[in-house]
């Protein structure tokens, strides 16, 4: 199990505390320091069953500068969104937890984090 975190994020810290409390073996990835590339983002999106605009923090300053809230949300624009997320990882919703069963979840709530606990191999 891997969790993508920003240590400054309270939701990330809560998710890590919950995983620790449950004795889960996991790897922390500080995704702002070790940003995912486009291929990793495609894989996580597949695992999440979401589109890139679904995990984009459109309120971030860089997102506002790029005007991503106005970008089309369609298959033809998908790679543009992915490229933007790879170039500006601060726009990626957090925390993202990849489960051992090949799925992933955006762990912004305790229930979402707990959902991943049942997916451990």
Catalytic residues: 9
Q: How far apart are CA 75 and CA 54, in angstroms?
A: 13
- Which residues does residue 5 pair with via DSSP β-bridges, in sequence order? 30
Q: How far apart are CA 88 and CA 73, in angstroms?
A: 18
* Angle, CA 8 vertex, CA 5 and CA 12 arms, to 5°: 40
Q: Phi/psi at 94 (nearest 5 deg)?
A: -145, 160
Instruction: Return the half-sphere exposure (C-beta side, CA atoms, 13 A cut-off) of residue 113.
Output: 23
């Amino acid at each position: 199990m891997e969790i993508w975190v920003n240590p400054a994020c309270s939701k990330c810290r809560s998710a890590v505390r919950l995983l620790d409390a449950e004795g889960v073996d996991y790897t922390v990835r500080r995704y702002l320091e070790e940003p995912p590339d486009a291929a990793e983002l495609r894989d996580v999106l597949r695992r999440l069953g979401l589109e890139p605009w679904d995990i984009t923090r459109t309120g971030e300053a860089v997102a506002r500068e790029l005007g991503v809230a106005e970008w089309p949300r369609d298959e033809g624009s998908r790679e543009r969104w992915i490229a933007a997320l790879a170039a500006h990882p601060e726009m990626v919703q957090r925390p993202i937890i990849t489960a051992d069963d090949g799925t992933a979840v955006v762990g912004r709530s305790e229930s979402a984090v707990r959902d991943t606990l049942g997916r451990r191999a």
